[in-house]
């Protein structure tokens, strides 16, 4: 059984339709439990940018694979979505989910933003830490106790989750529910879906995860439509920025604790900056995660940068920035005033909508970037997520 599934997954990686066969489905009768074996061919649903999940469907059944291993395309979890209630006797991280889902515990503000785009916000019965949210529907829901807060700390509250019994727990992780989620929650029968959008390399790849979420609610067509609009807007803006000759150099982030973590050259931020007509200083670093550097390493390479972005959540002035390290005044963008932070839209706790509405709408973020680097291209646009630091 396990060997067959691995073979089928390999065929899937090569682009073949996924042959789902040999999985045992059991259904209850009044007298006995019988097992039947079925075979069904599912067609691959095309994705344009995302590399961390794949979808196969025949219109009635849907299979979603997660690829949580950065080193290869091995499947780390499989979700089998059924409209009719069935029980799957399987292992190898195969999780059945009855759809459409009616109630969901949403453990990230960016997922809540996507659910809102899909007009599914009323399905949310629980969130993690409401302090992170800019979504007024969520804030009001938690205040009125219509939405429960089950993740104030880094872990999901097992007791509250078991009491609430959502039909789906949507959470952040590394792609293996048996490692990402608490064993008690898994054993309770609550389906756990882990998202890997944070491992994607392109802004549109992260936004395409709206298709993953939509599948659990039967809203695939709406997700496709919404994503196509986002993609078209993004590509139109990119085409505009491709015409510029001057490409300013850009530095991002600040030193935090013992290291200055700058995005790698293959990261979604590096793609954003390139598509906005900028010259990212670490563009040639062949990494999609962050790169840990010390202050001196950053200063040597980026002291003459033209712009400096993403300064930290509570940096709203040059004085705030110098409170972290007085040496920041040595950088050219500090002197010229080309400092921009992604905190223009922030809630009462200081958490920015950049990580919520922004990441789920990369076309809007790209517009902000182009306005910062090439203001003449978008004369009428007012910055939405970014603000200049004085």
pLDDT, tens digit, 9 for 90 and up, residues 252-282: 999 998 999 999 999 999 999 999 999 999 9
The predicted pLDDT at position 178 comes to: 83
Cβ partners under 8 Å of residue 278, min gap 6:
247, 248, 249, 250, 307, 369, 373
pLDDT, tens digit, 9 for 90 and up, residues 319-375: 999 999 999 999 999 999 999 999 999 999 999 999 999 999 999 999 999 999 999
Q: Is 372 within 8 Å of 243 (Cβ atoms)? A: no
Q: Is 55 within 8 Å of 45 (Cβ atoms)? A: yes
Name the CATH superfamily, with its identifier, for domain 2-229. Nitrogenase molybdenum iron protein domain (3.40.50.1980)
Domain positions in the chain are 2-229, 242-388
Instruction: Report how far residue 336's alpha carbon sits from residue 251's, in angstroms, rounded to the nearest whole number.
Output: 14
Q: Please identify which residue in the block is written with the tokens 């990494």.
A: 287
Cβ partners under 8 Å of residue 261, min gap 6:
253, 290, 291, 292, 293
pLDDT, tens digit, 9 for 90 and up, residues 77-92: 899 999 876 556 556 6
The predicted pLDDT at position 3 comes to: 38
Do 242-388 and 2-229 fall under one CATH topology? yes
The predicted pLDDT at position 92 comes to: 66
User: Which top CATH class is 242-388?
Assistant: alpha beta
Q: What is the dihedral of CA 158, 163, 166, 170, to 10 degrees?
A: -10
């Amino acid at each position: 059984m396990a060997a067959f599934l691995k073979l089928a997954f390999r065929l899937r990686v090569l682009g073949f339709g996924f042959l789902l066969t040999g999985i045992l489905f059991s259904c209850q009768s009044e007298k006995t439990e019988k097992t039947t074996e079925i075979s069904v061919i599912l067609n691959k649903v095309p994705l344009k940018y995302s590399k961390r999940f794949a979808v196969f469907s025949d219109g009635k059944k849907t299979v979603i694979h997660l690829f949580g291993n950065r080193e290869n395309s091995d499947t780390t979890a499989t979700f089998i979505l059924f409209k009719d209630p069935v029980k799957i006797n399987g292992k190898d991280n195969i999780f059945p989910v009855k759809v459409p889902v009616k109630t969901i515990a949403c453990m990230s503000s960016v997922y809540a933003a996507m659910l809102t785009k899909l007009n599914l916000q009323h399905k949310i019965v629980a969130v993690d830490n409401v302090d992170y949210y800019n979504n007024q529907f969520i804030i009001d829901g938690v205040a009125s106790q219509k939405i429960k807060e089950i993740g104030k700390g880094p872990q999901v509250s097992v007791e509250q989750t078991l009491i609430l019994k959502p039909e789906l727990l949507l959470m952040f992780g590394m792609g293996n529910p048996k490692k990402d989620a608490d064993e008690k929650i898994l054993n309770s029968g609550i389906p756990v879906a882990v998202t890997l959008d944070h491992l994607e390399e392109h802004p549109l790849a992260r936004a395409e995860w709206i298709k993953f979420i939509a599948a659990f609610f039967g809203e695939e067509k709406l997700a496709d439509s919404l994503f196509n609009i986002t993609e078209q807007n993004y590509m139109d803006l990119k085409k505009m920025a491709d015409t510029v000759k001057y490409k300013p150099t850009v530095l991002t982030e600040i030193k935090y604790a013992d290291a200055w973590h700058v995005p790698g050259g293959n990261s979604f931020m590096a793609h954003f900056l390139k598509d906005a007509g900028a010259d990212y200083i670490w563009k040639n670093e062949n990494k999609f995660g962050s790169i840990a550097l010390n202050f001196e390493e950053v200063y040597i390479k980026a002291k003459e940068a033209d712009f400096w972005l993403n300064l930290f959540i509570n940096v709203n002035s040059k004085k705030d920035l110098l409170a972290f390290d007085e040496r920041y005044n040595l950088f050219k963008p500090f002197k010229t005033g080309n400092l921009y932070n992604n905190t223009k839209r922030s809630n009462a706790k200081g958490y920015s909508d950049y990580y919520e509405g922004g990441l789920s709408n990369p076309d809007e973020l790209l517009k902000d970037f182009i306005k910062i680097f090439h203001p003449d291209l978008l004369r009428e646009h007012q910055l939405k997520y970014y603000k200049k630091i004085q």
